[in-house]
Amino acid sequence: MKKVLITGITGFVGEHLAKHLLTQNTTEIIGTYRSDAGLTKFADHQDAVTLEKVDLLNREHVSQLIAKHKPQQIYHLAGSSATGTSFHSPDQSLTNNILSSLFLLDVLKEQELQGTRVMVVSSADIYGLVAEKDLPIDEQTELRPLNPYAVSKIAQDYLGLQYHLAYGMDIVRVRPFNHIGPGQNDNFVLPSFAKQIVEIEKKQKDPVLSVGSLEAKRDFTDVRDMVRAYSLLMEKGETGEVYNIGSGESYQIKELLDMLLALTDQHITIQQDPTKLRPVEVPEFICDARKSNTLTDWKPEISMQQTLQDILDYWRNIV
């Protein structure tokens, strides 16, 4: 069985990836976590998953982790993921995302584990201010980042490339577009809507839903489909290459809000909150994933309607 390390295993994507890999029954999974709060997610998988509490910003801790387990594959998911909050705490995004990647790659080099395959997970946010003529967005699109989070993901992406070119390390880079699903926290737009709807259903707040801009169009993929793509590219991706992952279809935020509202019997008023507006908003993102799809034959399987229902039901179970 392959030894697979997932950094940030108790996070939104890490949990779904680990549970997807467990269904394949071909991997021994080790996962790093930072907070004990997420440990309950793996209460039913204690024999199948080894959990390690590791500060990835401490190089010595990273060194001890790698020396102990010597993983054959690493999915590097840990880090700061909230785009909006990076405007207010840019140092957090830059420090967490860049240093964790640097220490991980440098420790592998130091321990002569260049053969360990590493997936560096960047973000479509790195494309930033994309003109309409550049849609859909492929891997050659110019990088014009609009927030500190995107800058940190460019650094991660290019650290992966640099360590491949300079030291021959086996690294594949991915640039996922927006992914959503059950378990995502309410710092993100659709979970925020869903949580507010549930609070209204349970009479915990007035029937007023607070929103930011509803005009932007984004390429959304269910996280459960996204982690399937990660797994396929881990096996089939060419070393040193970079791959976009997305559905190839964009939805206006207002359209998705209307779909969520159709799943409740509450009469809800929509109210824009100026504090939720970003300094700059790109009108539309659409992914061109032909490079990765040609290689893996991946395509999304979960409908948007099902994803939104699952997000709403998730919040109904925990609010």
Identify the CATH class of 189-217+250-285+303-318. alpha beta
Q: Per-residue confidence of the chain (319 residues) as pLDDT tens digits? A: 899 999 999 999 999 999 999 998 888 999 999 988 888 888 888 788 999 999 999 999 999 999 999 999 999 999 887 665 656 677 788 999 999 999 999 999 999 999 999 999 999 999 999 999 999 999 999 999 999 999 999 999 999 999 999 999 999 999 999 999 999 999 899 999 999 999 999 999 999 999 999 999 999 999 999 999 999 999 999 999 999 999 999 999 999 999 999 999 999 999 998 888 777 788 999 999 999 999 999 999 999 999 999 999 999 999 9
What's at 15, amino acid-wise? E
Residues of the chain with CATH 3.90.25.10: 189-217+250-285+303-318
Answering whether pTM is above 0.85, one says: yes
Residues of the chain with CATH 3.40.50.720: 2-180+220-249+288-296
Fold adopted by 2-180+220-249+288-296 = Rossmann fold (3.40.50)
Burial 139-157 (b: 16+ CB within 10 A, else e): bebebebbbbbbbbbbbbb
Residue positions counted in the chain: 319
CA–CA gap between residue 241 and residue 259 (Å, rounded): 37
